[in-house]
Structure formats: C-alpha cells, structure tokens
Chain A
C-alpha cells in the first residue's frame, strides 16, 4: 500500500461516523459482547453457588442441587450461619485470623519500609549484593522453612501461638515488601533528599517526614496485598498451630467428612472469603498497583 492511499484511508477513518455505520460496527461486535457476557456470568457461578449452599437447609442440600433454591426461595435459611457463629472453635479461629492478619500486616510494612529506605538512600558496603540476595529469596519456597521453624518454635515455646504465626508471616513477607518499597522510594527525587540532608535533618526525620508520606501509595498497596495473603494462608497455620489455628486450617479439618459437614463448611468458607473479597473491592486500585509493581512473588 502506498503512502498516498494510506493517507486517504486515514482521512476516511478520521471522518465522524454516521449513526448507521456505528450501529453496523456495534452489531459486528455483538458476538464478542455476548461471549464476554456469558464468560463473565459463568465466572461468578461457583462463588454464588457456595453462598446458595450456605443458606440451604442441610437436609435438602444432601439430595438437591443448590440451584433449586431459585424455584423455592422461601426455603433459604440463615440457620447455618447462626450455628456457625455459635460454634466456639470457628469464632475463636476467626479471631486468631484477624489478629494474625493485623499483626502480620503492620509489622512487615514497618520493617520493610525501614529496610527499603536503607537500600534506596543510604550507602553502606555490600548494599547491592545484599539486595540481590534478597531478590533471590523472593522465589524461595515456604516449604524450605517449615521443618526447622517447627522445631525452633517448639524449643522457644511459641508453637501454636499468635505471635509465632505473626513472626513467620512477617519474615516471609519481607523480601517482596522490601523489594517493592525500595523500588518505590528510589523514584523519589534526589534533590528532595539532598535538600533535607543539607538542612541537617537526621535519617530518621527524613524517613518519617519525607519518605513515608511520599511512599504512602506503595505502603497501601503492600498492606492490602499482605492482608489478603495472610488472611488466606493455609499452610503456615496448619503447620505451626494446633489449638489456635486460623480459619482455613480449621475448615480443612472438616473436609474429611465433606458431605455431612457441608452445612458448616459452606458458611465458614463463605465468611472466610467475604472478608478478603470486600477488602479487595474497597481497595482494588491499590491491589492492582501492587500486583503490577511486583508480579514476581
């Protein structure tokens, strides 16, 4: 195609569309719209189905499909949820989950912010090598730590404690958190730092007054990430706790009698997922930012 005709085409494209052309163009894309609509709806079915089971009379759930609730909506019952919140073990595990999530979000964010600042703005020998070691740790499987930490926790008497779970999650959040924050802090204009230093501000002062406020978006997305990650954990709680387990390990113990325990499993699973889902919904923007900044974990 010659340049001349290309130019001509471009002029045609540049013309405002007549309504007829627009309708034709929209119609030609109708199959795409329809396909996406169907896929999108299908994607929601499983989660929705779990909610349906959770409000289904257990006797009926054993013999009927959850979709039958549509034909007879009056049979929906919140009895399963009432029983769930009357179950001491479940309530205790939800508390443990909340406390561990809280502690294991704040602690790593603080520690990683300090370290991230050091890696970004303080010179010290071996800085680059330590940072490269940190990046290498990003891919280390959690399984590598389980056996020795299980032993260590028993020796230190912090097996089956909330603090033990918080410390484990904190440590395993650090490489990613430091990586993310260091990369964000390093983007802060150098002049700003130099000016603060010439004014005689201490590193601590610079950190709290300059870096943290400027780094808030990164800290926020890291926090959201960590809340979801810790709340959703199974393997750490399963390995390092017994009577003080978070919700996911407690549900997993019920899976052995899956069918007969479904009236407990379904509402418990739904409660356990609605919390991170809500947080995700509320802070989606930060979550996506974090995801894009470091899809390496």
Chain B
C-alpha cells in the first residue's frame, strides 16, 4: 500500500478507516489495466504451453498416451536427426560469426564520416523478412547455371581467367591409333622416333567448337630429326575414311600438342597451325609419344550446386549472416559509443597499438554488449524457419531442415503427425530454457 492512499484514508471522518474497500479499489484498478493482457497471455501462452506438453505425450492421432515415444522418434527418425545436426551447426557457427562481423564492422566504422551510409547498407536487410531474404538469395545468387546465378557467374569468370575451358570439350579419337590417357587427354598409341609423323584424328566435335580460322587439313611433311603431325577433324559431310586426311576435312588450329619422352615427361610442346599441322624440331634419339594435353578437353564451368545436399546449409547460413550482421553492428556500435573515452585514450597514450587497444581494452569493456548479441542470436538461430523454407528446394529440404521447420512440416504440411510435432515444439522450448533463465537473472540483477 502506498503512503499516499494510507494518509488519505486516515483523514477520513470515520475514525476507523476501512482498508478493504480501498485495497479492493486499488486492485480493481490494477486489474482493469492488466486484464486484457492477462486474458490474452493465458489463452495464447499458458493454455497452449500446457496443451502442447500433454499433446507431445500422445499418439499422432491423439487417441492414446504413448508417453515418451514421440521424443524417442526425434532421435531415431533420420530427417529429425539431420534437423538436430543442422541446428547444432547453426548454433556453433552463426552467433559467433554474427558477433564477430558486428564487432569488426562497428570498430571499423567508428571514426568514418560516411559510416551512416555503410550502416544503412548493412542494416537494411534487417527490415526485410527472413523469408524474403531467402527468396532474394535463391533467385539472384544461388542458381546453379553460371549464366543466371551471380555467385557461379563470378566463379566461372574467375576460373575462365586462370584456366580457360579447352578448345575442344567433347572430342573423341577417330581411330584405334589414339587412346584416351588417364589424365583426360588423348595420346598417339604408337611410339615415335625422329622423322616419324603422327596423325591425330578427332571426331564428335560440335561444329561451333571448330575455331573460325580452321582451314583445309594437310598431311604432315616429315621433318628431319624431328617429329611432325596433324590434328584435324577426321570427318567430312558424308563421313570419309577414318585415319586419312581427306579433302573437305578441317585442320584444328590452336591445339597444344606435347612431346613426351619414355618416362612420360613433357620435353617439347607445339601449337597447331590453321591446317592443323605441328612439328617438333631437334628431337633426340630414342622413342617418344605425342599427346594432346587434358587442358584442351577441359569442360567449361558448369556451376557449383549451392543448393545441393552438401552446400545447402552453408548457403542458407550465408544468407542469414547477410541479414543479421547489421543488427550486431548497430547494437555493438551503440555500446562502443558509450565506452569511456578516457580509458581508451589512456591506453593509446601509454603506447598501446590500435590492435592492442582493441583486444585488451575495447573487447573486454564491450563484453556485456557482445553477450547480448550472442544470446539474441542463439535464440534466433534455434527458431530459424523462414529462410530455410525459402531457400532449400524440395529436393534437398531434408538435407537442410531444422527443428522449427520439422515441427511445422510434421504438424501442418499434410503429414498430421501432431504427436511428434508437439514433441518437437517442447524440445525447442527445452533448448531455450537456459536463455530464459539468463534473461530472468539479468532482470533480477538489474532491478535488485
């Protein structure tokens, strides 16, 4: 009872103040203010929590009590075990990564004038739903075809710059004189000596792979103390004879041919001319082989399957980090702004390097803020749902799935397994209980 109302009651004419009505009036006021909230909390929190716990002990149809069978299923069902593993990966990676990103960005932007623009760029994804973020990443970044997906496009362009796709990606030997070597190249089967020639006929070359400067193929002229040869398309309209250079058959220019000694070591290399011919000069005694290296037949980059079974979870995590880094940055930046300047300055004047100040002063002082970000992220990551649903295609949904998604799928996607669905909900609840206790403790400490 507050002193105000007591004193007011004491001044009333009736010498013995009846405290009951006053007390009731006070409580009825409190009830009027609290009533709507309490009713809603009971109907939407308390009742469902109890009902879900009971439901988790019943069979999927709800006809009988199966006690802990549903919980056993969580740890035996393959998909659910995958979900637990994925949640574990999320918890192990994401909160630490988000906090680290946030810390680095907050510190880097601290003394930069245009930081507001940078912060906006990083912060904006937070206003977007995790679901929309998933749609964004799936449609713009993760498509497998390098012509459509930005990530694969960048990888493809980079790869092309360092190891370009071969001139001929699909060519086959035209005769038994040639064999495919283990490394993916094609070599001439017979051993050659100085003065010999090699006919390297290839077929199954799509017309668009024939270089535009290709001319009529020529029979190679033997070279003195050298080995000559020709690489040509051993095919002409109507067929032609395999193994013979004929009219209308084209030489293939620009192919790198290697001369290898008996140990298989490359001793010379030559590039074919417009008629397909090549020659190695000043070849010593002994026998050699001639081969077209694997690089010539290298396939063009087909794209990484970001959403395939192996990479789908990392891909979703990257998209999540994109949305969460800005949150961490803003919270940590505000913590940074409230750090005592004189402590940092003192450390600097004492000769500490920027990095030492960061490690020894800034980070320890920021620890409470970092903890808040970290804990917030753990909660968020345990409940992660939308972004997985948005990014994982049906084919790899079972590889990417998480507990919250499985809770929903088992219960509402037509599977009607409400028993195990409820058990999954309770399991999630148990996982957040330590955080719940942490929240309560923090509150009680702050209000002690």
Interface centre among A9, A33, A47 (most CB of B within 10 A): A47
Closest 10 A/B residue pairs (Cβ): A49-B140, A232-B129, A171-B44, A280-B127, A118-B33, A148-B51, A115-B37, A145-B48, A124-B30, A148-B48
B412 touches A142 (CB 8 A): no
B128 within 8 A of A: yes
A49 touches B37 (CB 8 A): no
Closest Cβ of chain A: how far from B17's Cβ, in Å? Answer: 18
Not counting A203-B29, A238-B412, a sample of 13 additional A-B residue pairs whose C-beta atoms are within 8 angstroms of each other reads A44-B124, A53-B140, A65-B149, A114-B32, A118-B33, A124-B31, A140-B429, A203-B33, A248-B129, A258-B139, A273-B127, A295-B376, A296-B375
Closest Cβ of chain A: how far from B240's Cβ, in Å? Answer: 36
CB contacts (< 8 Å) of B444 on chain A: these are 132
Q: Which residue of A lies closest to B377 (CB)?
A: A295
Q: Which residue of B lies closest to A224 (CB)?
A: B127
CB contacts (< 8 Å) of B132 on chain A: these are 232, 248, 269, 272-273
CB contacts (< 8 Å) of B49 on chain A: these are 140, 144-145
A171 touches B45 (CB 8 A): yes
Find A63's partner among B26, B147, B326, B435 (CB 8 Å cutoff).
Answer: B147
A239 touches B408 (CB 8 A): yes
Measured CA separation A141–B55 after assembly (Å): 16
B41 touches A174 (CB 8 A): yes
B150 touches A45 (CB 8 A): yes
A16 within 8 A of B: no
CB contacts (< 8 Å) of A136 on chain B: these are 436, 439-440
Which range holds the interface residue count of chain A? 35 or more
Q: Which residue of A lies closest to B435 (CB)?
A: A139
B331 touches A235 (CB 8 A): no
A147 touches B55 (CB 8 A): yes
A214 within 8 A of B: no
B26 touches A36 (CB 8 A): no
A232 touches B330 (CB 8 A): no
11 contacts between A and B (CB under 8 A): A1-B349, A6-B349, A36-B112, A47-B128, A61-B148, A144-B48, A151-B51, A232-B129, A234-B386, A238-B412, A276-B127
Main secondary structure of the interface of B (DSSP, over half): helix
Find A65's partner among B33, B148, B393 (CB 8 Å cutoff).
Answer: B148
Closest Cβ of chain B: how far from A272's Cβ, in Å? Answer: 6
Known A-B contacts A44-B121, A114-B37, A139-B432; A273 and B129 likewise in contact (beta carbons under 8 Å)? yes
Measured CA separation A241–B9 after assembly (Å): 54
Which of A77-85, A87-95, A249-257 is near enough to bind chain B?
A249-257
A265 touches B135 (CB 8 A): yes
A122 touches B422 (CB 8 A): no
A149 touches B40 (CB 8 A): no
Closest Cβ of chain A: how far from B447's Cβ, in Å? Answer: 8
Measured CA separation A200–B133 after assembly (Å): 53
CB contacts (< 8 Å) of A292 on chain B: these are 330-331, 334
CB contacts (< 8 Å) of A119 on chain B: these are 34
B29 touches A122 (CB 8 A): yes
Interface centre among A44, A119, A147 (most CB of B within 10 A): A147
B178 within 8 A of A: no
A258 touches B40 (CB 8 A): no
B204 within 8 A of A: no
B432 touches A262 (CB 8 A): no
A10 within 8 A of B: yes
CB contacts (< 8 Å) of B425 on chain A: these are 141, 143-144, 146-147
